[in-house]
Amino acid sequence: MPRPRKRRHLGRAPQPAIYKPAGARLETLDCVTLLHEELESLRLADLEGNYQEQAAQEMGVSRSTFQRIVTEARRKVAQALVDGTALRIEGGTFSAPPMRWRCDDCGHRWQVEHGSGQGRSHACPACHSHAIRERAGGGRRRH
């Protein structure tokens, strides 16, 4: 029996998404699934330009595990681009920072833990206004 997978730390709350070639119907396309931790590895290595050791530390994994994750992520993205398949971002084994919300009407701030089942907040818990927005930043884990 294999060892359970260690949770990878994400710097942002995950957002499921699908990217597909323009003009093609999603129903007609094959799909490649990019896990949230694979997307995080691309963000850390390719977008932020971190060295593997630093990126691995931020994700809470070893450097060799980070290398495997980022290599698989790059292969999947290349496959989607070259073969014209859809790229679905979902799933994985991870922990993420809480989603932080702010009410534009009363200024109340609150957070919802990822995976709590509450999903997107629809009203302020203080004044019940629907003029709310997700706050950027915060929640990054440092080791």
Q: How confident is the model at residue 15 (pLDDT cuts 50, 70, 90)?
A: confident
Asked if residue 112 and residue 78 are part of one domain, the reply reads no
Number of folded domains that form the chain: 2
Q: Whole-number mean pLDDT of the chain?
A: 81
By the 8 A CB rule, do 85 and 77 touch?
Answer: no
pLDDT tens across 43-60, in order?
A: 999 999 999 999 999 988
Question: Which CATH number covers residue 54?
Answer: 1.10.10
pLDDT band at residue 113 using 50, 70 and 90 as cut-offs: low
Instruction: Show the domain range for 18.
Output: 8-95
pTM, two decimal places: 0.66
The reply to whether 74 and 51 lie within a common domain is yes
Say if CB 98 and CB 112 are below 8 A apart: yes
SS3 20: coil
Which CATH number fits the domain that encloses residue 121? 2.20.28
Residues 48 and 115 in one domain: no
Residue 59 exposed, middle or buried by CB count within 10 Å (0-12, 13-18, 19+): buried
**143 or 24: whose pLDDT is higher?**
24
Based on the fold, state whether residues 80 and 57 are members of the same structural domain.
Answer: yes
On whether both 13 and 77 belong to a single domain, the answer is yes
d(CA 33, CA 59): 20
